[in-house]
Structure 1
Amino acid sequence: MERVIPYDLTIQTARCLLRRPTADDIPHVFAATRFAGFNDGMQWEPPATIDELEEPLTESWRDWDRGITYGLTIADPATNILRGRIGIRKTSRADVWNLGFWMHPEHQGQGYLTEAAIAMLIFGFEELGATKIEASYALWNKGSRRVLEKIGMKFIAYIPHAFQKQRHWVEANKMSITRREWLLGVKLDV
């Protein structure tokens, strides 16, 4: 059965508000991309201008409508200002979803991503009916690896050619957690 996820979905954690992205987020996304190295572990290149971020926002709304990706802004609950993004996307395999995320450099290392990622596991398993959730990280990205380990994901594969960045292949590791593993002890409180 296809689930309909409302546009006004919000997920509240102890220190984060996860909500659908808006045009008000664009300046904060653009500001994050100005930090050296910010985009190195991501498949998208930093935009040259702030206007280049309008189409990806529109595309994320279309993907939401099609039920293939649910991208959420990780916001400060008091100010509603973007701290980062997290999303879950359908894969080609039934009931298997892929988790992706990034945090604005000014908010990294404070545990917000772990908190948001736990909330997305709950959303994926309980609301989307996922049987498995996967994620990949560039080998050098120790912060992302640590977030995935903290939420109970385990290594499943090395990917020597995950994606290209400046004409060079980026190596990555893939990790995953199944619904059964999550239910048997990795289920964490948000």
Structure 2
Amino acid sequence: MLRPDYPLESARLVLRPYTLGDFDVLYDLHSRPEVTRYLLFDVRDRGQVRESLQAKIQAATLDEEGGNLNLVVALRETGAMVGDVVLFWRSREHRQGEIGYVFHPDHGGKGYATEAAEVMLRLGFEELGLHRIVGRIDARNAASARVLERLGMRREAHLKHNEIIKGEWVDGVVYAMLEDEWRAR
């Protein structure tokens, strides 16, 4: 079980639970084709974003296997939302997890995704007691691969045509880190 003491802070960022007040920024994020290009979902309308926001609000704690912790990433100085991070608890028995992130293109290239994802790795390894955390990405998403590599995650697999996403076969890439690798960083 993981119930963080909010807000979580890094050098430049604050990670906090979603609220209803995050709707407009989340809609701006999820309605952009350049943001959803490599995600499992396509651009979302206002109703779909409302549904997504409700699920994100419920994901402020990680109570059981199969759940996720989904947080807003905001700038520490201004409080402006720049993205979103998630930690999935995949298996209690095998102590497995997964991280993910989505950032607004206006804030890309500044290291925010790496900084925020590092907080999620810390939560997974140090608070939840996970043994292994993966990051799964579309093989075409070079920016996301750079984030995972900067985190010190190891590229483990390139899966050819492993999923049909938005009507086309796509390759997937899996990165991973073990708890002892995290501690040795």
Q: TM exceeds 0.5?
A: yes
Q: Which residue of 1 aligns with 2:3?
A: 5
Q: Which runs of 5+ in 2 are unaligned?
A: none
Instruction: Write the deviation string for residues 93-139 of structure 1: whole angstroms up to 9, x where unpaired.
Output: 63110101011011011110111111111111111111111001111
Q: Which has the larger displacement, 131-140 or 61-70?
A: 61-70
Whole-Å Cα distance in 1 between the matches of residues 161 and 96 of structure 2?
21
Question: Which residue identity is paired with 1:24?
Answer: G
1:1-190 aligned within 5 A: 3-6=1-4, 9-48=6-45, 50-63=46-59, 64=61, 66-67=63-64, 68-92=67-91, 94-184=94-184, 186=185
C-alpha displacement at 1:65, in angstroms? 6.1
Where in structure 1 do 4 or more consecutive aligned residues deviate above 4 Å? none
Whole-Å Cα distance in 1 between the matches of residues 162 and 127 of structure 2?
29
Does the CA contact (< 8 Å) of 2:15 and 2:116 recur in 1?
A: yes
Instruction: Write the deviation string for residues 38-60 of structure 1: whole angstroms up to 9, x where unpaired.
Output: 20110112112x23212122223
Pairwise CA RMSD: 1.8
Q: What TM-score results when the alignment is normalised by the length of structure 2?
A: 0.89
Q: Which has the larger displacement, 57-66 or 35-44?
A: 57-66
Q: What TM-score results when the alignment is normalised by the length of structure 1?
A: 0.87
Does the CA contact (< 8 Å) of 1:43 and 1:163 recur in 2?
A: no
Residue 159 of structure 2 aligns to a residue whose secondary structure is strand
Does the CA contact (< 8 Å) of 2:152 and 2:177 recur in 1?
A: yes
